[in-house]
């Protein structure tokens, strides 16, 4: 597949993959479900890898949640082989209900499997999220009231993974597959309104496009980029502030109360997560912050996985 032979959508995918890589990325591992986004990514990554002399492999995760999932995984493996992938791992995972919901549990199982494969190859993991996925993530974060970090969406690079297609609309990946004669798999879960992300995709975003005009998806993705830069700076400042507030294995309240609220809540959220708190919501952090800013001798704050007390002017976990 020479550059001259590439269709416009395929060329856009190839250019996006090439732009996302760094000199240290010597082995590429593409996560592929068989859907249009990951198939287009796999095609673009293979093209870039061959031209640059990089090693490349694929990984398909079978969640086992649907009848015939093994056949879907095999079809994805076959598609990758057709794109020139000699090394494709098909990994079946067990999705364990943990109270977070089936979507989150499946995501956690998938991420763990992908990280295991990435580490085994010392590879750069590539994921096929698009600009549409970014817009959906921003809207879901807005609905949860999760703050700037959630509204910042997904980075192109971060958490040992790369998302080369975040700047491209989903329509480009669909067109890329059509140009290459690929037949993507359609996940029935992607049409199930029981999932919040599906409702955002099928109902909320089209409504916003109709009422506010075209360009909403691109605007949401652009907002995520701007918010990510702000959140990165605040997180860096919060790391410095946390070091200055440490005292006797906890956090000194007199140092916390002197911080701007934007830094104080970040310090507390990171501290709580490090201590083992799970599923932190904004009201959890606010309750702990009240031990600092609204101290009246109140008792401990109970959070998922731990409780927080204030003793002798220091916040401690139990």
Annotated binding site for ATP: 33-38
Q: Give buried/exposed letters for 69-93 (b at 16+ CB in 10 A, else e).
A: eeebbebbbebbeebebeebbebeb
Separation of alpha carbons 178 and 270, rounded Å: 45
| 3-class secondary-structure state, position 92 | strand
Residue 132 and residue 170 in contact, taking contact as beta carbons nearer than 8 Å: yes
Reported as type and span, the H/E element at residue 317 is strand 314-317
**Distance from the Cα of residue 260 to its chain's centroid:** 28
In our burial notation (b when 16+ CB lie closer than 10 A, e otherwise), range 224-248 reads: beebbeebeebeebbeebbeebebe
Which residues are documented as binding site? 33-38
To which H or E segment does residue 309 belong?
strand 306-311
8 A C-beta contact, residue 165 and residue 173: yes
CB neighbours of 130 closer than 8 A, spacing ≥ 6?
A: 37, 165, 166, 168, 169, 170, 172, 173
């Amino acid at each position: 597949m020479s550059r001259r032979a590439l269709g416009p959508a395929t060329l856009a995918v190839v250019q996006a993959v090439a732009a996302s890589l760094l000199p240290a990325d010597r082995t590429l591992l593409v996560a592929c479900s068989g859907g249009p986004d990951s198939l287009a990514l796999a095609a673009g990554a293979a093209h870039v890898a061959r031209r640059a002399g990089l090693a490349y492999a694929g990984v398909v995760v079978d969640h086992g949640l649907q009848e015939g999932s093994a056949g879907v995984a095999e079809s994805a493996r076959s598609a990758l082989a057709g794109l020139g992938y000699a090394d494709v791992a098909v990994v079946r995972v067990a999705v364990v209900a943990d109270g977070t919901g089936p979507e989150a549990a499946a995501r956690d199982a998938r991420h763990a499997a992908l990280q295991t494969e990435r580490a085994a190859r010392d590879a750069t993991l590539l994921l096929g999220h698009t600009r549409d996925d970014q817009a959906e993530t921003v809207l879901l974060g807005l609905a949860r009231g999760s703050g700037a970090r959630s509204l910042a969406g997904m980075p192109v690079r971060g958490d040992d993974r790369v998302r080369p297609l975040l700047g491209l609309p989903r329509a480009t990946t669909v067109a890329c597959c059509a140009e290459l004669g690929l037949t993507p798999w359609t996940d029935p879960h992607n049409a199930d309104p029981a999932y919040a992300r599906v409702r955002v995709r099928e109902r909320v975003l089209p409504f916003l496009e109709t009422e506010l005009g075209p360009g909403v998806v691109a605007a949401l993705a652009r907002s995520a980029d701007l918010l990510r830069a702000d959140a990165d700076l605040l997180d860096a400042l919060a790391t410095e502030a946390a070091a200055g507030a440490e005292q006797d294995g906890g956090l000194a309240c007199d140092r916390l109360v002197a911080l701007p609220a934007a830094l104080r809540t970040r310090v507390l959220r990171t501290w709580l997560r490090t201590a083992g708190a799970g599923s932190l919501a904004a009201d959890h952090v606010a309750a702990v912050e009240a031990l600092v800013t609204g101290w009246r001798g109140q008792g401990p704050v109970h959070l998922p996985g731990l409780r927080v007390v204030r003793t002798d002017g220091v916040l401690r976990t139990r």
